[in-house]
Structure 1
């Protein structure tokens, strides 16, 4: 079953230390798997940034040489030392600039390669995860993984990493150069690192929680927006606009407050950093000035030391900004790794069995079903459905009809027992064979962007135009398709905006017909049709169901009339089983339902 630790815990801002450690470990494993194929590119990029940083750091040393050795030589009429120092400074500056440009390009390529692989993994994973995951993990959260979370990682890779690597090497090389030309000034810098360390630790401890909070509040904003827009018809139908506006305003306020707390944190850290840097520069200048006056230190060396101390602190603010981006990207990576760490509750078989010519014989042997952390839905039962038989599932809402159908489609696996097709356990069937042998048509009848012909051909992508037209004619959809602006080449737009609900349902029938499955499941597939339209598609249903096993879930008993056999379900139990005529003639639950339905038509 699915592992939901990363799904639920990642949205909270009160994680325990153990949970945080587990999340970080999972994120590190994901990051290592992304970086491993790019080892050579990363190593070459590091060499380039090291070379460019060394070229930049050499500048103050050359200035010191030019002043301390070049100027006295000029006074003697020798321009060679100052010319060499100046020339070397120009050459190294140009080389440093070119290498920085090259580094940026190489780093961008690595960044895009990582993002490409990460987007691909998230998309493939979310497609592969079982229906149980998608029923518990909202669409807004999935969209947030592919949008805001990946954007946070992109920002870190595009800017943050380059600042960290370049700034880290720059600070290190600057400290080395400073100690090399004047160890005593290096001691002053070492003393300054003490308050700098305490300031940085203070910043890290407070920023980690605050940055996580900004990610959580941002994700909640996206979820609230997506769910409102997705369910806009229900929102407007039930006049939920004021309530949603209040909730969204609360989410916006929470996000604003979280970001304001981050800004206040930087309002203390940035001035503290500047203060430590300025005090250190002043101390170096004062101490060096005395030594220059005593003739112990050259004026050019003092200038180089001051430049190095000032440059040492310059990248630190950028590194602090990196920490901001790092915390956001780290939280995003934790959430993405949580999705990628999920395991399908319905796993593909390790040794699949091929099913070349399915007949459609279904059998439930001592089957029981319950969700991983929920109550029992279907108590243990046995059921045999011969090949070619049309079964109607009838019962009140929540009786277990759709769950039984999902077991047949292997959207779920039984908790106990087995469901077989032609004597083969569905859990051992090759996935492609299973999906071609069993097709479900739902009430939603979702249409994808593209033409009418494209949507019908989803049932069999290699189908010719003639086969697509034949399928549409077989289910009675050809006439309305021809009336569309471009016939079969009409773009249905998002969610099939150019066609009505009933027409979408006919297109889903054509999609199922062209797939030609051995077992067809209709889950409330006529619920969106009015009574005249439903009668009009009865002939289409007869064609669609011919020579195949069919399971029909319907509340309208008019649809049940075409079934060979009726199963009445209540609270997960099959309480009646027989032909429609036999059950109508009896005194059971189905007879009562049929009488009530007949009276409603009077």
Structure 2
């Protein structure tokens, strides 16, 4: 599998270069606007400003905010295309491998299991690239870039963020695991309900004859209740997560403001102007989005591990050695 990945990478080196450029542009677009806003606010507060530089800065600020959506869309599109290139190369290699397997493999493996390898497991591997590794690298660099700018503007706030981010990340992972488990329970309950429908239709006469309508009603009620409870748990986690993150963001900003005016030594550490305060508030709000995305991307990587193991087992299957047909002797 590693050889397949590197071969696909060499064939699409231009796509990789464009993808890296798009990731760098996305990070730059997310980091630059607050700095421009800082320049505008500081210029207005100091009173030493000129209309034309401020107008240019304002146009640039709005242009970067408007272009951020286009850059992000380009980045996500390239990541998806890159993942599809990987899966295309993998499926082609699997088809070639399938042609070389002996008949004993098809006797010992059901057709549905082989189809699942080509469809479900390879799709999981695609998620590993487009919603996993590549996206996680991009989000990690975004967080590091924001932290670097924050440390430059206010070392005190940078220290606060470094202390709070691990706790918020653990909180994010906790809620994501709870929501994922609730969604799995819901799918299990829905699948059980779907299994009951054809079973009920097939045995409808027996059910009426034995007067088991109440028993079937209870079975349907249990599965529907299990689905409802699972969705309630997921909705509850989703409803309280965003307020917790917003509250944490507000607490960090308030703590920054309080510490920056509490003593002269802390004022030197936090050392902020009016413009830098505006920029830092924007950075604090921007840093939570990639943090939440990294949690989901870790979950996608974990889900892809099992699929990768099954694909490795498939490529480890012994192939059938083909004998060259014997060419009859012309002299004979």
TM-score normalised by the chain length of structure 2: 0.69
User: In angstroms, what is the RMSD of aligned CA positions?
Assistant: 4.2
Q: Of 283, 286, 290, which aligns to 1:311?
A: 286
Partner residue in 1 for 2:215: none
1:490 matched residue in structure 2: none
Which whole-Å deviations, capped at 9, do the CAs of 1:444-497 have from their partners, x for residues lacking one?
xxxxxxxxxxxxxxxxxxxxxxxxxxxxxxxxxxxxxxxxxxxxxxxxxxxxxx
Once residues 89 and 291 of structure 1 are traced to their aligned partners in structure 2, the CA distance between those partners, rounded to angstroms, is: 27
More moved, 107-116 vs 127-136? 107-116
1:355 and 2:326 are equivalent in the alignment:
yes
CA shift in 2, pair 1:139/1:151, >3 Å: same
Q: Paired residue for 1:145?
A: 117
Q: TM-score, normalised by structure 1?
A: 0.41
Q: Are residue 340 (structure 1) and residue 312 (structure 2) matched?
A: no
- Note if 1:291 corresponds to 2:260: yes
Matches within 5 A, 1:159-170: 159-160=131-132, 163-170=135-142
Whether 2:159 is the aligned partner of 1:190: answer: no
2:30 aligns with one of 56, 60, 77? 56
1:132 to partner: Cα distance: 0.8
- The equivalent of 2:149 in structure 1 is 177
CA distance in 2, matches of 1:85, 1:193: 31
Q: Structure 1 or 2: larger strand share?
A: 1
Question: Does the CA-based 8 Å contact 2:172-2:292 persist in structure 1?
Answer: no
Is the CA contact 1:70–1:81 (under 8 Å) kept in the aligned structure 2? no
- How far the C-alpha of 1:262 sits from its partner, in A, is 11
Cα deviation for residue 185 of structure 1 reads 0.4
Which protein shows a greater Rg? 1
Please give the alpha-carbon distance, in whole angstroms, between the structure 2 residues aligned to 1:120 and 1:355: 30
The answer as to 2:85 corresponding to 1:113 is yes
Report the CA distance between 1:83 and its aligned residue.
2.1
Is residue 275 of structure 1 aligned with residue 262 of structure 2?
no
Report the secondary structure of 1:343's partner residue. Answer: coil
Q: Is the 8 A contact 1:62 1:89 kept in 2?
A: yes
Q: Distance in 2 between matches of 1:198 and 1:137?
A: 41
Partner of 1:467: none
Q: Find the counterpart in structure 1 of residue 198 from structure 2.
A: none
The Cα shift of 1:110 comes to 1.9
Q: CA deviation at 1:322?
A: 2.2
Over 3 Å counting, the alpha-carbon distance change for 1:301 and 1:86 in structure 2 is same
**Structure 1 residues 37 and 330 mapped into 2: Cα distance closer, same or farther (>3 Å)?**
farther
Which string of whole-angstrom CA distances, capped at 9 and with x for unpartnered residues, describes residues 268-327 of structure 1?
699568636632541333332563698853222112112111211112222222233333
- Could you tell me which residue of structure 1 aligns to residue 54 of structure 2? 82
How much has 1:267 moved relative to structure 2?
Answer: 6.5
Q: Which has the higher helix share?
A: 2
Is residue 153–residue 332 contact of structure 1 (8 Å, CA) maintained in 2?
A: yes
1:129 shift after superposition: 0.8
